[in-house]
């Protein structure tokens, strides 16, 4: 079935037993967050809360929309696979390959006159974002966060470029949100332009679109690439957009909730802290930009999805880590590097990339690592593991074996100071470096040195390497005849 809305996606999750409808009354104040946290910890289905204390029947929230799955027969990335119309046991490698194949054929959006997101409209004094059951997710959060699995839409003031991104949004009051807009991200660069012109930046926030929409909002694409065209490519059909009521921005017509407003120049309010994607309460409270909401449109019986950022594995390490790895692979191939695969391990919260490559010359691992850091998707990657082409980067057993047998503890590890970092949020940085985003990186060279004579390179002790081809084929062919079950293959 085609997934053209969040509700279509819920039907698919239902079909594959990846959704739990919770009819018992729950509280928006920490209880929904705690239940969702346990869903991640157990690999349990996504949680659709249908009875929220203090809110009318029909107003719902969805926790862990693309969380990891531990259902028998499904892969860890089952919900990401289902979001792309793939089978739930698709591997990480298959999902990344599908992403790259579909992304080759960008599909422009279509403008429609109206859509489900216009079923209800609030403007001016009637605007009240607290009409929706926004969760207080973690104990210690600076407030209720309406923006944790959503899309922030802005226009570059100097071009026709429209950016879709995901940047956390905290509720200050009924019509005011606090915004985290890092300067290393496109929205921070756009906002700086508006501030220099002393102009408010028009902003729309789309909450509850079909899952390809928040997925592409997390992808670190190069500037001047319109994420909506990538979303169309992933769902293999154009994304319908409808014009906002009060600002010159188009938004996904099928979204559950749309916020329209402006981020004011030079105005700041205290935002944070928040339990963040790397597994810690990060980014202490500090003055940050402010969005004033001028209008809200929403569907009947709206659904507000949220991600409970924290210890892995959550949406930041399922869908987004896979897409990040695919994008890094694509960028390295464009440079003509002989890479065979790239993987960002889910438990490494996007801070590590494993790159499998041919090695044409001495110190090639460092060449690959620095090329990776120069790409947009590689910006916030601090640990780079370079392995030979016979190592499958998605197989962490093979990767760990390569690290502990091929990486020299001194000569194979290269420290790189003063790499750009994600300001405020990096737990391993001291406070001063965290504030200015002065991070570091490290390269683990797990490839055989190119200057070693071929006869000195150890041979892997595998069935494929140490037994005659004819005997390998015989063993495989006669496996069940030896008494083994087919499941042991």
Distances in Å between the alpha carbon of 365 and those of 61, 244, 371, 442?
46, 48, 10, 11
pLDDT at 348: 87
Longest CA span, the chain: 79
pLDDT at 62: 98
pLDDT at 346: 87
Higher pLDDT, 437 or 56: 56
Is residue 317 pLDDT above 90, yes or no? no
pLDDT at 428: 78
Residue pair 204/249 in contact by the 8 Å Cβ criterion: yes
Higher pLDDT, 460 or 246: 246
pLDDT at 482: 86
pLDDT at 194: 96
Is residue 276 pLDDT above 60, yes or no? yes
pLDDT at 314: 73
Taking residues 157-186, report their average pLDDT.
93
Under CATH, to which class is 335-456 assigned? alpha beta
Choose among 160, 118, 197, 174: nearest CA to 291. Answer: 174
Is residue 341 pLDDT above 60, yes or no? yes
- The per-residue pLDDT for range 348-393, each reduced to its tens digit, is 888 999 999 999 999 999 999 999 999 989 888 999 999 999 999 9
pLDDT at 279: 62
Residue ranges of domains in the chain? 6-306, 335-456
In this prediction the pTM is: 0.86
Distances in Å between the alpha carbon of 138 and those of 125, 178, 280, 320, 387?
30, 17, 11, 21, 38
- CATH for the stretch 6-306: 2.30.110.10
For residue 117, name the pLDDT band (cuts at 50, 70, 90): very high
For residue 91, name the pLDDT band (cuts at 50, 70, 90): very high
Is residue 315 pLDDT above 70, yes or no? yes
Q: What is the rounded distance in angstroms from the CA atom of residue 305 to the CA atom of residue 149?
A: 6
Quick check: do 6-306 and 335-456 share a fold?
no
- The per-residue pLDDT for range 202-253, each reduced to its tens digit, is 999 999 999 999 999 988 888 898 999 999 999 999 999 999 999 999 999 9
Q: Tokens 């992403």 identify what position? A: 99
pLDDT at 376: 87
Residue pair 112/240 in contact by the 8 Å Cβ criterion: yes
Is residue 489 pLDDT above 60, yes or no? no
For residue 171, name the pLDDT band (cuts at 50, 70, 90): very high
- The per-residue pLDDT for range 407-449, each reduced to its tens digit, is 999 999 999 998 877 666 777 778 777 777 788 999 999 999 9
**CA angle at 41 for the pair 40 and 43, rounded to the nearest 5°:** 60
- Please return the burial class of 159, using the count of CB atoms within 10 Å of its CB with bins 0-12, 13-18 and 19+: exposed
User: Quick one: CA torsion of 61, 63, 69, 74, rounded to 10 degrees?
Assistant: 20
Average pLDDT, the chain: 92
Distances in Å between the alpha carbon of 134 and those of 67, 174, 303?
19, 12, 10
Is residue 487 pLDDT above 80, yes or no? no
């Amino acid at each position: 079935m085609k997934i053209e809305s969040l509700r279509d996606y819920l039907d698919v999750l239902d079909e594959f037993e990846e959704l739990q409808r919770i009819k018992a009354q729950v509280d928006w104040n920490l209880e929904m967050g705690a239940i969702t946290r346990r869903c991640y910890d157990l690999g349990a289905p996504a949680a659709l809360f249908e009875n929220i204390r203090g809110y009318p029947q029909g107003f719902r929230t969805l926790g862990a929309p693309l969380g990891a799955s531990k259902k028998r027969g499904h892969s860890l990335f089952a919900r990401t696979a289902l979001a792309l119309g793939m089978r739930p046991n698709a591997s990480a490698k298959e999902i990344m390959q599908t992403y790259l194949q579909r992304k080759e054929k960008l599909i422009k959006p279509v403008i429609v006159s109206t859509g489900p997101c216009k079923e209800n409209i609030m403007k001016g004094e009637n605007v009240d974002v607290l009409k929706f059951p926004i969760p207080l997710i973690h104990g210690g959060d600076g407030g209720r966060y309406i923006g944790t699995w959503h899309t922030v839409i802005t226009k570059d003031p100097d071009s026709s470029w429209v950016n879709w991104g995901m940047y956390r949004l905290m509720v200050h009051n009924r019509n005011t949100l606090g915004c985290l807009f890092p300067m290393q991200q496109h929205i921070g660069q756009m906002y700086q332009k508006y501030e220099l012109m002393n102009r408010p930046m028009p902003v729309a926030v789309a909450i509850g679109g079909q899952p390809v929409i928040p997925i592409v909002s997390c992808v670190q694409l190069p500037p001047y690439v319109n994420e909506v065209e990538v979303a169309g490519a992933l769902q293999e059909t154009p994304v319908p957009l409808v014009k906002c009521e009060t600002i010159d921005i188009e938004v996904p017509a099928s979204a559950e909730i749309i916020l329209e407003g402006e981020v004011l120049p030079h105005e700041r309010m205290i935002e944070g802290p928040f339990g963040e994607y790397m597994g810690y309460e990060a980014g202490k409270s500090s003055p940050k930009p402010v969005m004033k909401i001028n209008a809200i449109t929403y569907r009947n019986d709206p659904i507000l999805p949220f991600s409970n950022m924290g210890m892995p594995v959550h949406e930041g390490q399922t869908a987004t880590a896979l897409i990040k790895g695919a994008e890094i692979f694509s960028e390295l191939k464009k440079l003509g590097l002989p890479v065979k695969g790239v993987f960002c391990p889910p438990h490494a919260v996007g801070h590590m990339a494993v790159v499998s490559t041919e090695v044409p010359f001495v110190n090639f691992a460092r060449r690959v690592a620095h090329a990776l850091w120069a790409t947009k998707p590689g910006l916030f990657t601090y640990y780079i593991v370079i392995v030979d082409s016979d190592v499958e980067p998605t197989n962490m057993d093979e990767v760990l074996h390569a690290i502990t047998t091929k990486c020299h503890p001194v000569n194979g590890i290269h420290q790189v100071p003063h790499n750009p970092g994600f300001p405020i949020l990096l737990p391993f940085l001291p406070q001063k470096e965290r504030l200015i985003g002065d991070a570091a990186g490290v390269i683990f060279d797990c490839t055989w040195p190119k200057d070693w004579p071929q006869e000195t390179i150890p041979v892997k002790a595998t069935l494929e390497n140490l037994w005659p081809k004819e005997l390998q084929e015989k063993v495989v062919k006669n496996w069940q005849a030896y008494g083994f079950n087919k499941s042991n293959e």
